[in-house]
Amino acid sequence: MTLTYETLSENRSFGGTQGVYKHKSETTGTEMTFAVYLPPEAQFGKVPVLWYLSGLTCTHENAMTKAGAQEWASEYGIALIFPDTSPRGEGVANDDAYDLGQGAGFYVDATEKPWSPHFKMWHYIAHELPELVFSNFPLDRDAQGITGHSMGGHGALTLAMTFPETYKSVSAFAPIANPSQSDWGRKQFTAYLGADESKWQAHDSTVLMRERGYPREILIDQGASDQFLNLLKPEALAHAMMERRQPGVFRMQEGYDHSYFFVQTFMADHVAWHAERLG
């Protein structure tokens, strides 16, 4: 596994450093871009890590520039990692629709052509990118949390419930909560994983909640005026949490939609949530 990378930019931000980097990924077979924010404390030793997974159509840049997370990460002394949402570039399969292909990796490892050669975002996020960043940045591997928005919220929840020993805290903003029962999921799972719906279950947070849950508290914020509520299906996950007696907080936020204005508003709560649990 290649652990080298190229620096694209580094900027001072709230006393820390916001960097953007790229590397050659063996998992996706492409160049991948990612961003890392290091708080001031990283000058003196390893710091806790919060992974932020973005949603449909996004790159590493959307949350980096729109979520307002650096201020709070600096205050709590926590690093932020913003991966891309899919492989990109010449020779990488794509689709005319915004919700399939480049920008819409759905945090799964595709097994179906033409997606399977490059669309391996589950392995990339869970294994390859962590090896690179923990080898090159002052980050505490034993203090990792994960969050995300929309498709990224789906990814954060499924990764955390699959690897609870890795992710010591988890939260989500408006996650795609029951993708195997939604057009934001069924379409993509069929394309990437095939028609056998049993293969989809490992990537549905409602199913995982019913089957295994998460050994610590979960925080979820959902805009009550979200224009995509029928696709996100938050009620399915809320019911599964209640049925399992899952510790956590599920908040319906009156008047908020699906935009980054919603994410910005509650970002301070989420960073504080993770910082408290990561020490």
Query: pLDDT, tens digit, for every residue of 127-175?
Result: 999 999 999 999 999 999 999 999 999 999 999 999 999 999 999 999 9
Which pLDDT belongs to residue 104?
98
Q: Which tens digits make up the pLDDT trace of 40-85?
A: 999 999 999 999 999 999 999 999 999 999 999 999 999 999 999 9
CA atoms of 188 and 238, how far apart (whole Å):
23
3-state secondary structure 63-102: HHHHCCHHHHHHHHCCEEEEECCCCCCCCCCCCCCCCCEC
Q: Which tens digits make up the pLDDT trace of 220-234?
A: 999 999 999 999 999
Q: What is the mean pLDDT of the chain?
A: 98
Token pair, residue 124, equals 């990339």
Q: Which of 84, 109, 204, 226 is an active site residue?
A: 226
Whether 258 sits among the annotated catalytic residues: the reply is yes
If you write DSSP's letter for every residue of 95-145 in order, what string do you get?
-SSTTSBTTB-TT-B--STTTTTT-BHHHIIIIIHHHHHHHHS-EEEEEEE
3-state secondary structure 156-183: HHHHHHHCCCCEEEEEEECCCCCHHHCH
Q: Give the pLDDT band of residue 4 (cuts 50, 70, 90).
A: very high
Q: Which of 23, 149, 258, 270 is an active site residue?
A: 258
Angle, vertex CA 105, rays to CA 179 and CA 182, nearest 5: 15
Which pLDDT belongs to residue 197?
98
Which pLDDT belongs to residue 47?
98
Helix (H) or strand (E) holding 277: helix 260-278
Whether 257 sits among the annotated catalytic residues: the reply is no
Q: What is the CA radius of gyration of the chain?
A: 17
Which pLDDT belongs to residue 196?
98
Please give the order of strands across the beta sheet that includes 16-24: 6-13, 16-24, 31-38, 79-83, 47-53, 139-148, 167-173, 218-223, 248-253
CA atoms of 164 and 68, how far apart (whole Å):
27
Q: Which tens digits make up the pLDDT trace of 256-269?
A: 999 999 999 999 99
Closest CA to 180 of 201, 163, 211, 194: 201
Whether 95 sits among the annotated catalytic residues: the reply is no
CA atoms of 222 and 229, how far apart (whole Å):
9
Q: Which of 150, 169, 182, 205 is an active site residue?
A: 150
Q: Give the pLDDT band of residue 109 (cuts 50, 70, 90).
A: very high
Which pLDDT belongs to residue 32?
98
Mean pLDDT of 10-14: 98
Within a 10 A sphere around the Cβ of 242, how many other Cβ atoms?
11
Angle, vertex CA 58, rays to CA 55 and CA 59, nearest 5: 125
Q: Which domains does the chain have, with CATH numbers?
A: 6-276 (3.40.50.1820)
Mean pLDDT of 23-44: 98
